[in-house]
């Protein structure tokens, strides 16, 4: 019987193949009493299971290479931290001793304690880490039960297998990666879940939040996965199958063709030159940047160097990371955003859970509140600046006093280096992210004091429309085409262009081909996006004719009727 399932598509494309169902070890463990004389042994069993899992995670860490290493490494570090959390590692042993019970029972009871603690966290992203706690405990249980290290069962249809799981840990995905699945589906996971993040980095069609896929799909069922639409068709009929096969080969052809324009200059039909930069999280991402021919880094989200660890990265450690990127980009611009911590990206040591994190001590506000931490980063960036064309980008500026304080702190960092006779780029450019409506509406002062601007549309939309970008329940209201958003974005680009201040867009809008012509029509000539999006955007640029599209974008700014805006966008992209 053919049926269709709907979930959240996290990575686009079409895959056709056979279902390969996987399941985790059950958490329904036995509970039995352990005599006093055996308690020491039971505690030793727990210790050795923990050590086995530690070794397992370390060896996985060592085996990960290539472009995904950064993200997987971070996930493995997180699992390692959960494993070492005293609520699990120490308290489970105490539980065994106090309750005279078996180790398996003790660890699952302590897992429940930790899960309750996570449940009380307000932050969506952190709450989703509950799944990681379960995955870590599953590993310990497997070690206790004598079969550590999950080895994926052999594939029946190597090359066309689609993995169907209730949930997947990133560590599992590393192992599955070697088995060349063509897509994967999970019952759980949201857009910010680790599974979703890994899925995107693997670049295969993936859908999460399918809820009952694991129950409804049988092993070996024929599946069509449409990652862009978030749709799975189970046991499709011949007509549907041939239609998707055709679409799949068209997409493949398109992908191959796109590679041909890797080194082509991004110039519109009428000859306007456009710069296509890449957004990165960690130095390892440079591989993908090069593969897609980006001509610079428009946004290095440096805060990722601070995540998944107990301590802060030292000045030298940060310097190494920034210098690596600068060197690998061989003189092309590298825009390092100072740490945008707070909101959904918190230090592990952060004690306070803000009532309203997106409006709290985030980004530059946190940097100014923690001047020593900021000073360390600024020195590291400045020291790396003589190894390439580095620029400093400051997130979430909202007022002139923040700009002044920031510039003063940059000058202090420079002075401290001069005193130590450490050379750096004295003329390093300092730019500001425009992602708060207040900044967009008082742009003159930003343009007078800063060398360049970068529009963070993700936050600009969040703050303009008062929609928490991490909250699923209001996700449908997140609208880049809202007249207020369009007018703000157009105003920023137009004002900066008139004042001859370089301006880029580095939010998700820049990587979505639906908006390429719109932004070109507003006058944008510098886009920064995830490297995987770059060639499609370039293709759109190459097909665009600025004199033709500009009048349509002007019309879009004059109306506040959403239907008309959508009609005009269609015409623009037609
Ligand atoms: C943005 O807000 O658009 C942006 C690029 O920054 P981030 O997504 O890291 O907040
Ligand atoms: Mg932002």
> Range with the lowest mean pLDDT among 52-56, 69-73, 138-142, 503-507?
69-73
- Which of the listed residues 433, 463, 505, 519 should we mutate to test ligand 1's pocket, taking the one with most ligand atoms within 8 A of CB? 433
Edge-to-edge strands, sheet with 231-234: 3-6, 231-234, 222-226, 14-22, 161-165, 183-186, 206-208, 8-11
Lowest mean pLDDT among 9-23, 55-69, 416-430, 439-453: 55-69
The whole-number pLDDT of residue 191 equals 56
Query: Is 179 a known active-site residue?
Result: no
Query: Where on the phi/psi map is residue 524: left (φ > 0), alpha (ψ -120 to 50), or beta?
Result: beta
Residue 348: pLDDT over 60: no
CA of 136 to the centre of ligand 1 (A): 31
Take residue 426 and report the two structure tokens written for it.
């004295």
Q: Which residues contact 383 (CB under 8 A, 6 or more apart)?
A: 315, 319, 322, 323, 417, 422, 424
- For 313, the 3-state DSSP assignment is coil
The CB of 507 under 6 Å from ligand 1? The reply is yes
pLDDT at 5 over 60: yes
Q: Is 458 in the pocket of ligand 1 (CB under 6 A)?
A: yes
Is the pLDDT at 153 greater than 60? The verdict is no
Determine the atom of ligand 1 nearest the C-alpha atom of 279.
Answer: 5
Residue-level pLDDT at 167:
73
Q: How confident is the model at residue 151 (pLDDT cuts 50, 70, 90)?
A: very low
Task: Tell me, yes or no, if 101 is annotated catalytic.
Answer: no
From CA 574, how far away is CA 564, in angstroms rounded?
A: 15
- Of 459, 480, 526, the residue with max ligand 1 atoms within 8 A of its CB, to mutate for a pocket test, comes to 459
How far apart CA 96 and CA 310 sit, in angstroms, is 28
pLDDT on residue 20: 85
Q: Is there an atom of ligand 1 within 6 Å of 435 CB? A: yes
* Distances 26 to 163, 316, 365, 506 between C-alpha atoms, Å: 19, 45, 45, 44
Rounded distance between C-alpha atoms, residue 129 and residue 469, angstroms: 18
Q: What is the DSSP letter of 189?
A: -
118/102 Cα distance (integer angstroms): 25
The count of C-alpha atoms lying within 13 angstroms of the C-alpha of 141, restricted to the half-sphere facing its C-beta, is 21
- Counting atoms of ligand 1 from 1, which one is nearest the CA of 462? 2
Is residue 362 within 6 Å of ligand 1 at its C-beta? no
pLDDT score of 356 more than 60:
yes
Q: Choose the weakest-confidence range: 1-15, 265-279, 365-379, 518-532.
A: 1-15
DSSP 317-340: HHHHHHHHHHHHTTTSEEEEEPP-
Residue 171's pLDDT band, with cuts at 50, 70 and 90, is very low
Q: Is pLDDT larger for residue 98 or for residue 532?
A: 98
Least confident of 77-86, 294-303, 565-574: 77-86
How many whole angstroms from 573 Cα to the centroid of ligand 2? 27
Q: Which residue in the block uniquely carries the two structure tokens 């991490």?
A: 470
pLDDT for 357 = 81
Catalytic residue from among 61, 194, 482, 530: 194
Q: Which atom of ligand 1 is nearest to the CA of 299?
A: 5
Tokens of 160: 């066309």
Class of residue 284 by CB neighbours under 10 A (exposed 0-12, middle 13-18, buried 19+): buried
Maximum CA extent, the chain: 86
User: Of the ranges 63-77, 82-96, 184-198, 328-342, which one carries the lowest mean pLDDT score?
Assistant: 184-198
pTM of the model: 0.70
Residue 541 pLDDT more than 60?
yes
Pocket test for ligand 1, best of 301, 363, 511 (most atoms within 8 A of CB): 301
Residue 166 pLDDT more than 80?
Answer: no
Mean pLDDT of 440-459: 96
The single-letter DSSP state of residue 153 is: P
Residue 301, ligand 1, Cβ within 6 A: yes
Q: What is the pLDDT of residues 74-105, one digit of tens each?
A: 778 888 999 998 888 899 999 999 999 889 88
Q: How many CA atoms lie within 13 A of 281 on its CB side?
A: 15
**Residue 152: per-residue pLDDT:** 44
pLDDT exceeds cutoff 60 at 195: no
Asked whether the beta carbons of 431 and 451 are under 8 A apart, the reply is yes
Distance from C-alpha of 402 to C-alpha of 380, rounded to nearest angstrom: 21
CB of 281 closer than 6 A to ligand 1?
no
Q: Which residues contact 278 (CB under 8 A, 6 or more apart)?
A: 285, 288, 289, 292, 294, 296, 297, 298, 528, 529, 530, 531, 534
Average pLDDT over residues 119-126: 78
Across 184-190, average pLDDT:
78
For residue 522, what are the contacts with CB-CB under 8 A and spacing of at least 6? 489, 490, 493, 494, 553
* % residues pLDDT > 70 (the chain): 87
Of residues 473 and 477, more confidence is placed in 477
Greatest mean pLDDT among 51-60, 124-133, 190-199, 363-372: 363-372
Ligand 1 atom nearest the C-alpha of 435 is: 2
Closest residue by CA, ligand 1 atom 8: 458
Concatenating the DSSP letter of every residue in 84-111 gives H-HHHHTHHHHHHHHHTB-HHHHHHHHH
How confident is the model over 101-116, as pLDDT tens digits? 889 889 988 888 888 8
Task: Answer yes or no: is pLDDT of 553 > 90.
Answer: yes
> Mean pLDDT across the chain, nearest whole number?
88
Q: What is the pLDDT of residue 495?
A: 98
Residue 365: closest CA among 320, 396, 337: 396
């Amino acid at each position: 019987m053919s049926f269709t399932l709907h979930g959240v598509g996290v990575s686009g494309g079409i895959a056709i193949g056979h279902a390969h169902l996987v399941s985790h070890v059950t958490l329904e463990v036995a509970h039995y009493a352990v005599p006093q004389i055996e308690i020491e042994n039971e505690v030793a069993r727990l210790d050795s299971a923990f050590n086995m899992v530690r070794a397992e995670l370390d060896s996985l860490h060592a085996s990960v290479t290539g472009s995904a290493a950064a993200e997987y490494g971070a996930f493995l570090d997180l699992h390692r931290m959960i494993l070492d959390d005293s609520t699990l590692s120490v308290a489970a042993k105490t539980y065994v001793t106090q309750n005279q019970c078996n180790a398996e029972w003790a660890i699952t009871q302590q897992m429940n304690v930790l899960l309750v603690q996570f449940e009380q966290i307000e932050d969506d992203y952190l709450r989703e880490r509950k799944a990681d706690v379960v995955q870590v405990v599953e590993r310990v249980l497997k070690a206790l039960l004598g079969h550590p290290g999950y080895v994926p069962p052999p594939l029946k249809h190597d090359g066309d297998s689609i993995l169907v799981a209730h949930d997947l840990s990133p560590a599992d995905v590393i192992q599955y990666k070697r088995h060349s699945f063509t897509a994967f589906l999970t019952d759980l996971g949201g857009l910010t879940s680790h599974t979703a993040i890994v899925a995107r980095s693997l670049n295969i069609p993936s859908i999460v939040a399918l809820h009952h896929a694991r129950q409804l799909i049988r092993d070996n069922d024929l599946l069509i996965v449409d990652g862009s639409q978030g749709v799975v068709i189970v046991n499709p009929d011949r007509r549907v199958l041939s239609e998707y096969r055709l679409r799949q080969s068209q997409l493949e052809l398109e992908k191959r063709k796109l590679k041909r324009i890797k080194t082509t200059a991004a110039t519109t039909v009428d000859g306007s030159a456009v710069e296509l930069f890449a957004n990165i999280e960690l130095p390892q991402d440079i591989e993908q940047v090069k593969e897609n021919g980006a001509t610079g880094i428009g946004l290095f989200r440096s805060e990722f160097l601070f995540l998944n660890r107990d301590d802060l990265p030292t000045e030298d450690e940060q310097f190494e990371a920034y210098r690596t990127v600068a060197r690998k980009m061989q003189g092309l611009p590298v825009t390092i955003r100072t740490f945008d911590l707070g909101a959904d990206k918190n230090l592990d040591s952060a004690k306070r859970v803000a009532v309203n994190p997106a409006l709290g001590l985030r980004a530059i506000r946190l940097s100014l509140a923690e001047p020593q931490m900021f000073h360390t980063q600024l020195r590291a960036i400045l020291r790396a600046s003589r190894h390439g064309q580095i620029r400093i980008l400051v997130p979430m500026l909202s007022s002139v006093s923040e700009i002044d304080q920031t510039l003063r702190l940059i000058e202090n960092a420079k002075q401290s280096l001069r005193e130590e006779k450490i050379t750096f780029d004295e003329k390093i450019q300092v730019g500001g992210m425009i992602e708060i409506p207040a900044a967009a509406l008082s742009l003159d002062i930003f343009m007078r004091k800063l060398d360049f601007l970068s529009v963070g549309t993700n936050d600009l939309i969040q703050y303009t429309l008062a929609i928490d970008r991490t909250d699923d329940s209001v996700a449908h209201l997140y609208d880049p085409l809202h007249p207020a958003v369009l007018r703000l974005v157009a105003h920023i680009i137009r004002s900066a262009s008139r004042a001859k201040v370089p301006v880029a867009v580095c939010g998700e809008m820049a990587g979505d081909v639906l908006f390429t012509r719109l932004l070109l029509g507003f006058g944008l000539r510098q886009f920064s996006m995830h490297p995987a999006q770059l060639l499609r955007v370039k293709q759109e640029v190459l097909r665009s004719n600025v004199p033709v599209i500009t009048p349509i974008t002007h019309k879009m700014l004059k109306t506040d009727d959403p239907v008309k805006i959508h009609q005009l966008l269609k015409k623009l992209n037609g």
